[in-house]
Amino acid sequence: IHVIMQRDTVIFDLINKEKHRQESGIELIASENFTSPQVMEAMGSVLTNKYAEGLPGKRYYGGCEVVDEIEQLAIDRAKKLFGASWVNVQPHSGAQANAAVMLATLNPGDKILGFDLSHGGHLTHGSPVNFSGKLYQPVFYGVDEASGLIDWDKVDEIAKKEKPKMIICGASAYSRDWNYESLRKTADNVGALLMADISHPSGLIARGLLNDPIEHCHIVTTTTHKTLRGPRGGMIMIGENFDNPWGLKTPKGELRKISSLLDSGVFPGTQGGPLEHVIAAKAVAYEEALSEDYLNYVVQVSKNAKIMAKSFIDKGYKVISGGTDNHMMLIDLRSKDMTGKLAENTLIQADITINKNMVPFDNQSPFVTSGMRIGTAAVTTRGMKEDDMVKIVNLIDRVLMNHDNQDEIKNVKSEINNWMNQFPLYK
Ligand code: PLP
């Protein structure tokens, strides 16, 4: 290739700056992780040049023989990883995956029952500012105020009253496991489809550390870049015995299998050409996730989260629900007389990245919030273990308790920058 222009130093300098930021700080955003170099290499490959509308073997463009093989490998590896019988690996993101499912299985105006955004749910599960709340009629279930837990009988009660067409489970900030079996009974009782969005804990689910939604839920969606540690993207799956016609019809009135409806929901329903470079990177990540190394990784993610939650509690912080079953925790800062906004803005000065988050029954706005959400997926990728989690909690506490002491924050920052040198990320 003739490079006519000079290398775009403005952008590449900024990319290097971001690399330095990622390497020198402590990354605790629950939805982030560090992919392997080979995942990034696949994303930055010539595959970005290829159009491939359609599915492997059924494309609307020529020259797809190679990308067909790549996409089929991604599908086969995903099936193996999650025990799914059908997979679509094309959604550009988690939000796109959810949009495709809803477009494929619902009519505008249908009622959907999702987990309340302010209790930890996701925008695409019925928020009024999202397509899901604008096109469909959302109703919500939440957590019990005292325990911070979802009461499955209460969800059943709400479903019986509301009779939704779809029940959505899964969250962005719920640290406990889901009772998919109970939710399926509820869905069957009211004739609803049950969709699980496992974006956050999908890596832990894939390797058997949490309850398996594939056995119970009609449809499962996930992002591929959180605990799963792949490229940014989404995916839709269904399990054995779920690929039934379900009474859903084609525009011509023919009964269609749910997998065929979901394929159409992705393309042409909500997307154009698939991102084959990202699909190749998904395939690489799935193979990595099938390895012994990755199993050890998710086991450590889970151990790290438990010890971290306990360390916060030991320091007098209120962890919602009193602990965690997965990779994340939600901390109510009201007992420390702090807002999420203040915590986020103060911690970043010491190179600790977390995100402010609403806590259930929050009295602050979403821009301020009373909580912070913390996850262990990224720090575990860097090689950190239980002792390191205790140390991180001590550092966080030191920064928060000295939020108006710039010298102390600077001291912590330089300690962190030195410490992180011991956990090299990208050579
Ligand atoms: N679903 C859940 C539960 C999420 O937490 C997220 C992202 O945070 C998404 C969907 C959306 O994923 P994306 O940002 O890839 O669109």
Compute how many other C-beta atoms are within 10 angstroms of the C-beta atom of residue 424: 10
- Given the residues 165, 176, 226, 373, the one annotated as active site: 226
pLDDT at 1: 56
Helix, strand counts (H, E) of the chain: 15, 15
Q: What's residue 252's pLDDT?
A: 77
ipTM: 0.99
Distance in Å, CA 199 to ligand 1 centroid = 6
Residue 257 Cα to ligand 1 midpoint, Å, equals 26
Q: How far apart are CA 375 and CA 212, in angstroms?
A: 21
Q: Are 384 and 396 in contact (CB under 8 A)?
A: no
| Ligand 1 centroid to residue 210 C-alpha, Å | 19
Q: Which pLDDT score is estimated for 3?
A: 59
| Mutation to probe ligand 1, out of 115, 122, 125, 270 (largest number of atoms < 8 A from CB) | 122
51: annotated active-site residue? yes
Opening angle at CA 20, ends 39 and 409, nearest 5 = 130
Nearest alpha carbon, ligand 1 atom 12? 94
Instruction: Classify the C-alpha dihedral 34-297-284-275 as positive or negative.
Output: negative
Residues with CB under 6 A from ligand 1: 31, 93-95, 122, 124, 170-172, 197, 199-200, 223, 234
In 3-state terms, what secondary structure has residue 125?
Answer: helix
Adjacent-strand bridge partners of 328: 375
Known binding residues for (6S)-5,6,7,8-tetrahydrofolate are 117, 121-123, 365-367
DSSP structure string for 375-396 = E-HHHHHTT--HHHHHHHHHHH
Mean model confidence pLDDT for the chain: 96
Q: What are phi and psi of 318, to 5 degrees?
A: -95, 110
* Residue 223 annotated to the active site: yes
Residue 397, number of CB atoms within 10 A of its CB: 16
What is the reported pLDDT for 75? Answer: 98
pLDDT along the chain (427 residues), means of 10: 75 96 98 98 98 97 97 98 97 98 96 96 96 98 97 98 98 98 97 97 98 96 98 96 69 82 96 98 98 98 98 98 98 96 98 97 95 98 98 98 97 98 92
| Residue 255, pLDDT score | 80
pTM metric for this prediction: 0.96
**Residue length, the chain?**
427
Pairing of strands 328-332, 318-319: antiparallel
**47: nearest Cα among 63, 59, 23, 24:** 63
For residue 160, give the amino acid letter.
Answer: K
| Cα 180-215-81 angle, rounded to 5 deg | 115
Rounded (5°) CA angle 397-399-400: 65
